[in-house]
Every structure is written in structure tokens, then in C-alpha cells.
Amino acid sequence: MDITALGGVSAITEATGGKVLGKDDFMTLLIKQLSHQDPLNPMDSADFTSQLTEFSSLEELTNIKDSLGSVLAYQQSMQNATVANLIDRTVETEGDSFYMQDNADVGFELESDAASVVLSIHDASGAMVWTRELGQYLTGINSFRWDGKDINGNQLPAGQYTFGIEARDISGNEVHASTIEKGLVTGISFENGLTYLTLDGNRKINLSDIRSISL
């Protein structure tokens, strides 16, 4: 490779087959270029100034990259420490699953006032174990405490259940309802740069999906 033919960052990158060089590589090549120049025909001062300018820019970009890396690492460590405080806290997120032990609160959000709200609960196999017309509910977030008993009044075992909401207005038109999932944070995991919470020992949600946190 004719080092004296190199004229800048782009030329060096091209001459090295597209390999991106660091600042140390750039400085090494620049020094070799100076040491191998023809004393009777030295490098043009304008070209030399241009290369020094490119090196300075490379140095600044490298420093910025290093600084950003440090900031991101610090931010990640702070987030991880903060997330640890969620252990044993109850969180809410969109979803239709919940854990019941003796009883459980289920939540839902109505787009408008509903004259009739029907709640249906299913066990882990998908079989409906309880359903009831709950009456009127207003726009916004609502909740209902289920006593954990089936349609016949028998206490059901603790475990994972799902629920669904059907709401209608006074004219019988369907009212959009979103189910709200609640759970106790029992674990935290970090995967591919993302933070996940484990609820009730077996459900995993993304940290960004949390709507609210309570004791």
C-alpha cells in the first residue's frame, strides 16, 4: 500500500478495504506518511492541515461516543436499582389475567357510561367458572372484588384465572371496555436491554407496560 497516496479518512478507509479505523490507527498512518514523504517534495501544507482537522474530528467523535456510553451505562444501573424497589408491590397493566387466593380484584376501563356490565371469569383450562351482571358503571377505570366462588357458591382453589367484560349503554349498544391486569411483583429479569417484571410468580410483563403501582 502506498502510504503517501493516502489523503484523508475516506481515502484510508477505502484503501483498507472498507475497514473502519480508530484514532490510533489514523495517527499511526499519518506519522508513517510524514516519515516516508519525499524531502524534495514534501506534503502540501493544505493537505496536511486537512488531515489534522479530520483527525481532530475523529478524536471528538470518539470522545462523544465514550461519554454517551458511560451515560447510558449509568442510566441503566440507576434504572435497575430503581426497578428492584418494585418487588412485593402491586402493579396494573392492560391484560385479562390475574391470580386468585381466597378473593381477587379485577379492573376494567369503560370508554363511556354503561347501563349494564357483565363479568365472566374462566379457570386455567378456559372453562367459565363464574359470571354475573354487575349493573351500572361510569366512564373510566372501575374494579370489582370477586369472592373466589364459582356459580354454585363453592370456593375455588387458588390459581391463575382470566376474565372478560361485556358492557352496553342504556340503548343496548356495546360500550368498549378494556380489561386491567393486576399482579404482585415477585421477580425482575433483564433480557436484550429490556426489563421484565414477573407477576405472581409466573406471568411476565414489560416494564413499559405498567399503568400504576400500589402497595
Beta carbons within 8 Å of 105's beta carbon, 6+ residues apart? 98, 143, 144, 145, 146, 182
Is it the case that residue 103 has pLDDT exceeding 90? yes
Domains of the chain in sequence order: 3-83 (no CATH), 87-214 (2.60.40.4070)
Q: Is the pLDDT of residue 191 over 80?
A: yes
Of the chain, the percentage scoring pLDDT greater than 70 comes to 63
d(Cα 94, Cα 69) in Å, to the nearest integer? Answer: 33
Beta bridge partners of 101: 103
CA 126 to CA 110: how far, in whole Å?
A: 24
pTM of this structure: 0.59
137 vs 19 pLDDT, higher one: 137
Lowest mean pLDDT among 30-34, 73-77, 207-211: 73-77
| Average pLDDT value over all residues in the chain | 79
Beta bridge partners of residue 40, listed in sequence order: none
User: Could you read off the pLDDT of 48-82 as tens digits, one per residue?
Assistant: 556 656 666 666 666 667 666 665 654 555 666 67
- φ, ψ for residue 148, nearest 5 deg: 80, 10
pLDDT at 21 over 60: no
pLDDT of residue 158: 94
Angle among Cα 179, 205, 155 to the nearest 5 degrees reads 55
CA-to-CA distance for 200 and 124, rounded, in angstroms? 14
* Confidence band for 6, pLDDT divided at 50, 70 and 90: very low
